Amino acid sequence: MPPPAPGISLSTRLELNAIADEIAGDGDTFSGALARRLVALLPLTPRPSAVQLGASWSAPGGVAEALTDTGHTASAGGGAEKGGFTLGSDGTFRVGQWKLGHRPGTVEIGRVMEGRAEPRQCRLRYDRGSGAPVDMQWRRWVRLGFGRVSVSVMAGWRFWKRPVP
């Protein structure tokens, strides 16, 4: 999970979250004014690691444990055991339900939570000189399965939306 946006006030993080919700929502257009505001508010983020690797898994029959108010450990069996790891940084900040990455000319927007119709990852491209939004694109992935193991590979970016004044 990316770190929270450092040095950004709570009110600014809430505004960034609301803007990302709006411009990454349904439809084939987005507000150019909101896109400019997003670019202005979001500081540049660190470059992503050259290599990133992550995995997650679940196995049936795990045990859930918690500490009770009397200091004893309570446990319940039967839940699914989950695990995972991530190596490398994707160069984003966590802002609400979004991962935002800002490099000159591009803001990458990634949804942390799943289950929505919109693309999970998209990017806003803007003119570096004027700050005017150019378009939004969604990230296309290809999943390759090898028996019980599958690997997702990025297959490029596709046009998604255009700005309106």
Residue-wise pLDDT for 146-165, tens only, equals: 877 777 777 889 999 999 98
Nearest partner of 123 among 135, 114, 140, judged by Cα: 135
**pLDDT (0 to 100) of residue 72:** 45
For 105-150, the pLDDT digits (tens) are: 999 999 887 655 555 789 999 999 999 999 999 988 777 888 777 7
The encoded tokens of residue 19 equal: 């803007």
Nearest-5° angle of CA 114, CA 44, CA 98?
Answer: 15
Q: What is the mean pLDDT of residues 3-19?
A: 86
Domain locations in the chain as residue ranges: 10-47+89-164
Q: Is the pLDDT at 32 greater than 90, yes or no? A: yes
Q: Provide the mean pLDDT of the chain.
A: 79
Q: What is the mean pLDDT of residues 84-104?
A: 80
The CA radius of gyration of the chain, in Å to the nearest whole number, is: 19
**pLDDT (0 to 100) of residue 20:** 96
Q: Is the pLDDT at 97 greater than 60, yes or no? A: yes
